[in-house]
Amino acid sequence: MGIVELIAETVKTIPGMRLLVEPETNILCFTTGDEVEMQAISRELWARQWAVPLNPLVPTGLQHLRVYVHPLKERSTAQEFLADLAEAVLRVRSGEGARP
């Protein structure tokens, strides 16, 4: 399994997270469907040094995270990101997430 597939499959296992589309390239987009949660998750990831901006989906405005997977990154980097993403979602859902 490649890094893109690893991220896609793991995102699907995080409660409430979903892919917007199955990735066909090195770009993944995912959301919870809740704008407030997505803003907090984005802040949590930035606090952990992951530059993952929040993006609105045109034309609906649905907030989502867009991740670009660099082909030279190590699998361990993806695993570290996924652990931080899962922890960020858990913290936000428990009300402990990063504040603006």
Q: What is the model's pTM? A: 0.88
CB atoms inside a 10 Å sphere around CB 49: 7
pLDDT tens track for 48-73: 999 998 888 878 888 999 999 987 77
Closest CA to 53 of 63, 61, 62, 24: 63
CB atoms inside a 10 Å sphere around CB 44: 22
Confidence of residue 97 (pLDDT cuts 50, 70, 90): low
Sequence spans of domains, the chain:
3-93
Considering the four listed CATH numbers 3.90.1150.10, 1.20.1250.20, 3.30.1330.10, 3.60.15.10, the one that applies to the domain covering 3-93 is 3.90.1150.10
* pLDDT of 10 over the 70 cut: yes
